[in-house]
Amino acid sequence: MSYQPRLAEAGDDAVALRETSRHYLQTVAQSCGEEYDAPWAWNSFGLWIPPKDPSAAFEEMQWVFGDCTPDEPATVEILWKSWDDPAPAWYRMHIMETYSNRTRPAMRGTWANPATGLLELDDVVAVRPSIEGLPLSCTQTASPKFQPSPLRTAANPEELLPEVMMTQAEAELMISLYLHLESHRLGPLWTTIDAQAAATRDRLFDLISAAGSAGSRTDINITVAVRDTSVSQCPHHVFDPAPAFTDVDETRMVGLHEVAHAHKDGTVGLEEHGGEHLRAVLTCVALYGGSVHLATVPFDGAAVPVATESLYRVHYDWRCERVEDAEQRQIRNLNRMIATRAGDR
């Protein structure tokens, strides 16, 4: 009986996800007349799945990442069970070096917190090379104690304002195109990105709802780092062409402007678009990257009658990160004022 690859399912641990991925790659290799091994998977498919046997995993790790050093790390996207994650999630990070322990093989990685840590291969599902130059991930971004990374540059206000409004139909098409592309790149693991992005979308939606319920009016500006993710010559799936705003010559910011206000019963209303439209655009932010800027005007009679601002970004890694709130903004403005005065002396 031939093996029928199943999709990765919510709640799968690292062991189950590795088995699903390995069976899929073995099937692909067989269909191409190739023998499945680490060199074929890494060079031809762009994906490495650590084997279950520690000694074999060590040998393959050395072949793929044995030359990594702190001065010449490998930039990768890694599906990894972090210490505080309930299940494996995708991170973009640097692999700095490998450890020569055949019984517990591991790598040392670094994130943008900045932080470094040990990644035991038992917790690693898959690794694929990443595009150089993209921002690394931060860990613990959902924690209330999370602090914005000092490696993140302050946002230009003009970059937070959408100029081209994305329709709901366009957003839904962009979602389909992205997930279709990932299904080609990752096989059955594409659902792990879908689930991670959905969780990020829900978190962004909750943040907007919380801001909307906290004041009389919340101005919402959303931008999406759109690009054409169409798969050419796919024999099984056909989609409409990507929207015109994905053209490489299109320089205007794409996204959505919305206004939320609180109702007396505690619910939040949207003034310009429906909830499903907003959720579709937020899903695009979660997949493609982008920003959500919130400015909330307090209720009449509030102790602090000024708008409260916060900025969240998805740095191309399907993970929402608070990069600035009212306190950070005040500090940044103060530093700019001090630097201006120092320059006038």
**Do 305 and 236 belong to one domain?**
yes
Asked, for residue 275, whether it belongs to a domain, the answer is yes
Domain count, the chain: 2
Say yes or no to pLDDT of 202 above 60: yes
Query: 200 and 122 in one domain?
Result: no
Structure tokens at 205: 């939606």
Judged against a pLDDT cut of 90, whether residue 268 lies above it is answered with no
CA nearest to 279, candidates 168, 193, 195, 170: 168
Task: Find the farthest-apart pair of alpha carbons in the chain and give their distance in angstroms, rounded.
Answer: 81
Residue 69 scores a pLDDT above 50:
yes
pLDDT of residue 337: 56
Say yes or no: 69 and 187 in one domain: no
pLDDT at 309: 84
pLDDT in tens, 309-328: 889 999 999 999 998 765 55
* Range list of H helices, 103-220: 168-186, 190-213
Average pLDDT estimate for 110-138: 94
Alpha-carbon span 196 to 209, nearest angstrom = 20
Choice between 153 and 266, residue whose per-residue pLDDT is larger: 153
* Spatial contact of 95 and 130, defined as CB atoms under 8 Å apart: no
The per-residue pLDDT for 67 is 96
The residue out of 109, 129, 149 marking a domain boundary is 129
What range does the domain containing 46 cover?
14-129
Averaged pLDDT for residues 234-261:
92
pLDDT for 210: 87
Residue 5 buriedness (CB in 10 A; 0-12 / 13-18 / 19+): middle
CATH number at residue 111: 2.30.30
Asked whether residue 101 carries a pLDDT value surpassing 50, the answer given is yes
- Indicate whether 169 and 111 sit together in one domain: no
**Contact status, residue 298 vs residue 215, Cβ threshold 8 Å:** yes
Q: What span, in angstroms and rounded, lies between the C-alpha atoms of 4 and 19?
A: 12
From residue 95, give the alpha-carbon distance in Å to each of 47, 52, 59, 61, 172: 15, 20, 16, 11, 35
Q: Is a pLDDT exceeding 50 seen at residue 242?
A: yes
| Most confident by average pLDDT, 237-246, 270-279, 300-309 | 237-246
What is the average pLDDT score of the chain?
88
pLDDT of residue 150: 87
Q: Is 145 a domain residue?
A: no
Residue 35 lies in a domain: yes
pLDDT at 2: 47
End-to-end CA distance of the chain: 81
pLDDT at position 230 over 70: yes
338: pLDDT strictly greater than 70: no
How large is the average pLDDT for residues 216-220? Answer: 86
**Rounded average pLDDT over 174-182:** 97
Q: What is the mean pLDDT of residues 241-265?
A: 90
Q: For residue 57, is pLDDT > 50?
A: yes
pLDDT at 1: 36
> Can you name the residues that pair with 223 across neighbouring β-strands?
255, 291
Average pLDDT on 26-37 reads 93
Is it the case that residue 11 has pLDDT exceeding 80? no
| Residue 51, number of CB atoms within 10 A of its CB | 18
Residue 256 located in a structural domain: yes
Residues 106 and 207 in one domain: no
* Residue 300 and residue 187 share a domain: yes
Q: Do residue 167 and residue 18 come from a single domain?
A: no
Answer yes or no: do 162 and 119 share one domain.
Answer: no
CA dist., res. 157 & res. 140, Å (int) = 26
Q: Specify the pTM.
A: 0.89
